[in-house]
Amino acid sequence: MNDVYYHASNVGNLIKILPLSKLHGSEERVAYFTPFRAYAIFYLRDMEINHVTCGVNQNGITIYHEQFPNQLEILYRNRSGYLYICENKNMELAHTNGVWMASQPIFASRVDFVADVYADILKAEQSGEIQIVRYKSLSNEKKQGYIDMMKSEIVNKGYLMSNSKKAMFFKDNFPKSWKAAEENSQLRQ
């Protein structure tokens, strides 16, 4: 078991990490942690968009998948945040590889400020802690799979009828999916 766990937050000056996130598939509240700093930095994100497309493989390497051109840069350039370092006290393994959770507050032993998340990610890529599967390297079939998947998301979440930041994110970054969703909507009328 690791001694150091990270919790990413856009909020500074926390003394303890509270269980404020919903546990996957339930209403229970938990706080999430990871022993992998490279994985934690992806959670220094815009909470309104909340488009995280990565995971940790069996070797502890964070694999990030771009689903649209320049996704990494669009989501993380000019972002900053805080990585809270905690000890594993009363944490348990969560539903995803590399993720731990706690249902009670966990005290932070220290905090690292990440001034430029995008630069930090690129540095971790160079060191081998992160592998980035860039959109331009994807096959046409894989790109079409993302277009279809995001079209379903746009339709199922009702983004066509919304001006929310998340809806505009989909409209701006998945234009083919947005157009297909609009066409699907017109066919239903």
Tell me what pLDDT residue 187 has: 57
- Structural domain boundaries of the chain? 5-137, 140-182
Plot region of 158 (φ>0 → left; ψ -120 to 50 → alpha; else → beta): left
- Mean pLDDT across the stretch 98-119? 96
Cβ count near 109 (within 10 Å): 12
Cα(173)–Cα(51) distance, rounded to whole angstroms? 11
Cα(24)–Cα(83) distance, rounded to whole angstroms? 22
Instruction: Record the pTM.
Output: 0.91
Tell me what pLDDT residue 166 has: 97
34 vs 1: which has the higher pLDDT: 34
